[in-house]
Structure 1
Amino acid sequence: FIPVAEKYNQLFIREIPEDIASFIDKDKYEKILFNLLSNALKYTAAEETILFKVEFNKEANTLKTIVANSGTKLNETELADLFTEFHVGEDNQFEKFSTGIGLAFTKELINILDGDIQVYLKDGWIYFDFILQLNTVNDGKEDEVITSTPSYLFESILKPYQNNEAETIEEGNKNTLIEDLQDKFEHSILIVEDDVALRFLLKNILKDQYNVYEADNGKTALSFLMHNKPDIIISDVMMPDMDGLVFCKHVKSAPATSNIPFILLTARGSNEQKTEGYELGADAYIPKPFHITYLKVRIRKLLEYRKRMENLIKDGNINNHFVNVDMEQGDKEFLNALVNAVEQNLSETDLDASKLEGALHVSKMQLYRKLKTLAGMTPSEFIKRIRLK
């Protein structure tokens, strides 16, 4: 977090006593710290201060952790709702939680560790503090505490900042392109997220299975897509310059990218937003907080489904009207209706997409987007394929 604070001109004070030796649930404690510090850095303005302080009570064997920041705009009435999932403050200061985990989940983790988190305001600062009872160090186990291997989360946080030099998006994408050209992995992913910490975390979680590219908002992502075509896109919704919904509309409206599976991530999972996302062509809508395993499964299933659809078309299933093929019922009905509409008008030499739009009662863009996603073809190419069959 030090490079992030330096980048945004924030003063990051750390007060950590030396020689603390005890046992703690490392994975849960790191997730708690990662979440609290990510939110503190994200919602603290330039020239303000962030405090991370640890107090160890040797006699009671307790650890008190404090994460605070100056310049808060929240008021006392809003504090009670901060641990409610996706609460939005009046000034939208907590509109989106940066880690995808959320303060509600942080409170649950602390409760599991038999702790209790407190939040309060003082002199323009907001403080989060909690006390955990530590386990007693057993004889001969001191070295185990010191040499214990860092958790995967901790390593993921540190990787972008090794040698105190954060890799830029451009540098990272150049390295990924080299790996992509060398066929390091079969599929590539574009992550579009303005939160540096979450973007790095997602990349490090997924880069062991995919070639991962990055962009910090929809506008830079569109520039990237002008020269590259990933196999799937994962995008946040709330971003500066161009948000995820507008970006999704651009992707699904462009002939070259409309068939790329698109996953939207958001801390605001209302039915209205989901409907808007799906109307724009999103293939999946995952609300925060989300489980990493679930995200991985959705990615894998979307890629498998697209591959299966491509193979179905290549295998000549157009002739058998997709009766016994393995695909979602809605997609099967759409393709069967499309094939019927084409076959019933094969005698017309001027058969084109406009006549199919009328037969299926869909707009030009809906027909193009759906067919491109399912079959990887334009309406004209689909008509030609059936004529050849």
Structure 2
Amino acid sequence: TWWVKVTYILLFACLIGGIAKYITEKNRHKNELMRREHAEQINEAKLQFFINISHEIRTPMTLIISPLEKLIAENKDEEKQKVYLLIYRNAQRILRLINQLMDIRKIDKGLMAVKFSETDMVEFIDDLMQTFTYQANKRNIKFTFTHTEKQLKTWIDLNNFDKVLVNIFSNAFKFTPDNGEITITLCTGKDNNKPNTPLSDFFEIIIADTGTGIEEDKIEKIFERFYQINNIESQSGIGTGIGLHLARSLVELQHGVIYARNRTDRQGSEFIIRLPLKSAHLKNTEKEIKNKALIQLQQQIRNKSVSIDTFIPLLKEQKSKIKSKTKYRVLIVDDEKEIRKYLLTELSDTYRIFESANGKEALDFILKEKPNLVISDVMMPEMDGITLTKKMKANININFIPIILLTAKSSEEDKAEGFDIGADAYMEKPFNMELLKKLIANILENRERLEHQTIQSETNNTLIKTLILRPFDQKLYENIINIINENISDPNLNAEFLAERVGMSRVHIHRKLKELTNQSARDFIRSIRLKQAENLLSNQELTISEIAYAIGYNNLSHFSNTFREFYGMSPSEYMWKKEKKKEE
């Protein structure tokens, strides 16, 4: 019948319509995912680009900030002081920007750790406002702080919350015209809509300005990474677009919220930061108890309110610390010639300084000259600082030499890698020269103290004989030594061979040797072979090829290269030196 046909036609039309709608929605969803993925890739590429550039900036920043601190301390001319301080403030501003980029990367990777300590928020904001006093006075901006309580105890992460406020304050000054107003308001409150949550009791900071305001459709976008508002009057498009994104990320890490709105009483905008007032929501591992003196010191460092008074103690210390050259020899390793020359100028009054332009050149020098200390950059051509440190610590002839790594790579992973391979200290560029000098002095003094203690007790050979090990470890150590010496001529003697003869897994024997000798199984076998080679070269009239085969090397070239890497000279050079000494 006709109505049945009409029904089928309608059902078919609905089916076609449903399929078409499904395909359309699927394509729309796919396009949206692709758009988001593309946007994330662009943001990641931008961030990676900025981070790579930041690493390159840190080295020249070292050559700006460190000499500048010295100039400020030494020069008393008021006009020059104003220029120096202007340069110094802006250098610190560049450095803050670099650090913000690193912070964003840490947050993205989930590596940003927060430690909360009880802080007086009134005093905290007061101290931080001092940093902007110069700018406010220069532009005749009325910069005020309103609070009802004389003291308000809160729990915040001191190291990260100041970054939030500095970014918001900087943003307010950027948008506010000359002769305008910026008002900071601190208050507390309760949110009955959020019972049993950290923000049920909160404190709130409102930063209000008399700037141009924000377009309503862009109020949320300003917190997006790399988003910038282009405004000709305020020139607010100048910047990176990361400050507000970082501020929101750091506030959320501290269980708070941050948002913006336009003012209703007059032109301008307000930024509201709301954080938990109490600490009941915090885990014990998140809390950090600090004494008052330490908090005050951190506030001074955080503020960096630069004036000539900041550098007077530095000048006095510099004058009192100048010494004549000492017996200590320090090797500086950096591919940047200017960094080497700067360190040479600063350290040559106290130490005998030597230079190398890369890790390969440095390793040859260290093997031959055995300096008292090495200061090395991380990123270098031919051989980087990490590889240099690994090779130093794997060689028993030079693994006692301390090494300080100076680097533009400031992430926690980079620091952890440096310490894992045995670096004695790790300093970020730009570094403070006085801090570096004290670090060098402390490391060398500790090493000398240790050497004196060793000499006064007994010789190294006696120490080896009287090394106290647990019965099992003693037996295992002697067994390993015997197996290596008995099979030293076997080219197949390696970590697997040793593990099989000892009756342990390769991983277990590697761990045990690391614990007992601070060397891997491979390095330990090589050390004994090369020590035996040294003994044969010194005491027996054998050819180099005979000695190589006697200690398990089938390839004479490989033996020569390994010997050179270990002793800093070839076997033939070593024999020549020994013969020359005998003739003398």
So what's the TM-score if we normalise by structure 1? 0.44
Choose 1 or 2 for highest CA Rg: 2
Q: Answer 1 or 2: which has greater helix percent.
A: 2
